Amino acid sequence: MLKFKFGAWAVVFMLAVLSFSACDDNDDETYNPPANIIEALKQLYPNAQNVEWEMKGNYYVADCWVTGDELDVWFDANANWVMTENELDSIDQLVPAVYTGFRNSNYSSWVVTDVFVLTYPQHSTESVIQVKQGNLKFALYFSQEGGLLHERDITDGDDTNWPPMG
**Per-residue pLDDT tens digits for 61-102:** 999 999 999 999 999 999 999 999 999 999 999 999 999 999
Does the pLDDT at position 14 exceed 80?
A: no
Contacts of range 73-79, beta carbons closer than 8 Å, 24 or more positions apart: 73/41, 73/44, 73/45, 73/48, 74/163, 75/33, 75/37, 75/40, 75/41, 79/34, 79/36, 79/37, 79/39, 79/40
Query: What is the band of 135 on the pLDDT scale with cuts at 50, 70, 90?
Result: very high
Closest C-alpha to 66, from 141, 145, 112, 119: 119
Does the pLDDT at position 11 exceed 60?
A: no
Domains observed in the chain: 32-82 (3.10.450.360), 88-156 (3.10.450.360)
Model pLDDT, residue 166? 61
Query: What is the band of 40 on the pLDDT scale with cuts at 50, 70, 90?
Result: very high
This prediction has a pTM of 0.80
Model pLDDT, residue 29? 59
Q: Residue 74's beta-bridge partner residues? A: 61, 83
Side chain identity, residue 159: D
